[in-house]
Amino acid sequence: MADETHTTQCCIAGGGPAGMMLGLLLARAGVDVTVLEKHADFLRDFRGDTIHPSTLELMHELGWLEELLALPHQKAPTLRFQSGSHDVVVGDFTHLPTHARYIAFMPQWDLLDFLARKASAYPGFHLRRCAEVTDLLREQGQVVGLQARTPNGTLEVRAPLVVAADGRTSTVRQRSGLEVEELGAPMDVLWFRVSRKPSDPEGPMGRFEGGQIFILINRGDQWQCGRVIPKGAFEPLRQRGLPSFRDDFARLAPFLADRTTELSTWDDVKLLTVRVDRLHTWYQPGLLCIGDAAHAMSPVGGVGINLAVQDAVAAANLLAAPLLQGRVTPEHLRQVQQRREWPTRLTQRAQVLIQDRVLGPALRASSTRDGRLPLPLWLMQHVPALRRIPARLIGLGVRPEHVRTAAAPALPASR
């Protein structure tokens, strides 16, 4: 028997962007919702920290954009890529039909703390930290809740609807037995940080030369740096030694050469194992998967948060009324997948195409072709109008979602 039992209208596994946004919007609509987050806080290194124009537009629709942007962040109205002596703009967000025409780089924990504060204004919102989901509860072939491990023992949360938003290694997805389709990825990413000086470029930027790809993200007083490597190449890199890794970095970012010694051990370098997959079916009776739990995205374009948030908005729009009426059917859950599957498939198809046709060959190349740009970058450099296409796909996505649920009364601001 559980040490504690809780009953709610919707139980969400995972307090990431998808889980927190869905919990917020459902509570705003008057639904009693419980979010289970396995950690005590949202502080995590090298999580996705890009807030796209579509998500910023949702903040505007909710009336919170200015308050969100009062938090520390860096604006990127364009995305740039450097190859040899070439500096190419590959995405221009300044033409988007949104109030914020840029990507905001903000630590994910700041975004999640912001959503948690806003959600706490609604009496039906409950965030349980230090609650690690361990299993599904089933009765008569239907999911009826979640079991979690807490510092005080076992917790059972019973609900007419369980939502898996616990990421690409989703425990809920594993326990559900839903079939996963692996799309493959030819690369992994190594993340690390070095200090930033006021005289440094503003960034962000990507750099490619000699078969190496680096990503630099301006974090104010730090650079968040990523090196894209072929799948499975981390161990050979380690065997070459950290000085060799530092030398590679200094060659691609000469202005940071005096700071490579800040990487004192391999513990300063974190491996992100890239995977791209999706569920054939996102739901079972009583269960829905969204975000990375439904479709793990490649880091190409940094659109993972964007897709997860849009999944959450679509789910809230379609499920708030059935939840309030006390009856969520598999047909309601099918409608969520139907709404979000097409943009997910198109986005993943574009990511896999870029991985296989651009990044994979670039990583295998020993050098650029006589200093010439790859054709996609050459076109971006010489036909500026083309920069609007990746900006539209990255910044807004294939099918942007909008908040359509009415707001229930909130608690006094003093809470």
Domain boundary assignment for the chain: 4-182+275-395, 187-230+232-272
**Residue 362 confidence (pLDDT):** 67
**Residue 216 confidence (pLDDT):** 86
**Residue 230 confidence (pLDDT):** 87
Query: Domain 4-182+275-395 - what CATH class?
Result: alpha beta
Written in H, E and C, the secondary structure of the chain is: CCCEEEECCEEEECCCHHHHHHHHHHHHCCCCEEEECCCCCCCCCCCCCEECHHHHHHHHHHCCHHHHHCCCCEEECEEEEEECCEEEEEEEHHHCCCCCCCEEECCHHHHHHHHHHHHCCCCCEEEECCCEEEEEEEECCEEEEEEEEECCEEEEEECCEEEECCCCCCHHHHHHCCCEEECCCCEEEEEEEEECCCCCCCCCEEEEECCEEEEEEECCCEEEEEEEEECCCHHHHHHHCHHHHHHHHHHHCHHHHHHHHHCCCHHHCEEECCCCEEECCCEECCEEECHHHCCCCCCHHHCHHHHHHHHHHHHHHHHHHHHHHCCCCHHHHHHHHHHHHHHHHHHHHHHHHHHHHHHHHHHHCCCCECCECCHHHHHHHHCHHHHHHHHHHHHCCCCCCCCCCCCCCCCCCCC
**Residue 414 confidence (pLDDT):** 47
Predicted confidence pLDDT, tens digits, the chain (415 residues): 788 999 999 999 999 999 999 999 999 999 999 999 999 888 776 566 789 999 999 999 999 999 999 998 889 898 887 776 778 888 899 999 999 999 998 888 899 999 999 999 999 999 999 999 999 999 998 999 999 999 999 999 999 999 999 998 999 999 999 999 999 888 899 999 999 998 888 766 777 776 778 888 888 888 889 898 888 889 999 999 999 999 988 888 888 999 999 999 999 999 988 889 999 999 999 999 999 999 999 888 888 889 999 999 999 999 999 999 999 999 999 999 999 999 999 999 988 888 877 777 766 665 445 566 677 777 888 888 989 998 999 999 999 999 998 888 887 764 4
